[in-house]
Amino acid sequence: MMINVLFFAQIRDQLGVSGLQLPSAENNDLTTLLKNLKSLDSNYLSVLSKGSLMVAVNQTMQADNVPLYSGDEVAFFPPVTGG
């Protein structure tokens, strides 16, 4: 009963990991998951507290809190710019 958490681009580089598996029972919504990730250590707190953080759940962009279920994939990445 796990949630797959992925980190991309400079978030991955700053955290030093590309992903984690976390128990879904302890991370039943996006807000709780983010709070729990920030509590892992000061580096997670610093990197994941940036206002420009983007989040997708099961490859769908999320702007609000959403419920999470076992097997869900949550991806954190910086905003994409182009030109």
Provide the pLDDT confidence category of residue 83 given band limits of 50, 70 and 90: low
Q: Domain extents for the chain? A: 2-77
Average pLDDT over the chain, rounded to an integer: 93
Rounded CA-CA distance 82/61 in Å is 18
What's the pTM? 0.93
Instruction: State the average pLDDT over residues 17-46.
Output: 96
Q: Are 49 and 43 in contact (CB under 8 A)?
A: no
> Which pLDDT belongs to residue 74?
98
Percent of the chain's residues with pLDDT above 70: 96
User: What CATH topology corresponds to 2-77?
Assistant: Ubiquitin-like (UB roll) (3.10.20)
Q: At residue 82, does pLDDT exceed 70?
A: no
Question: What secondary structure letter does DSSP report for 7?
Answer: E
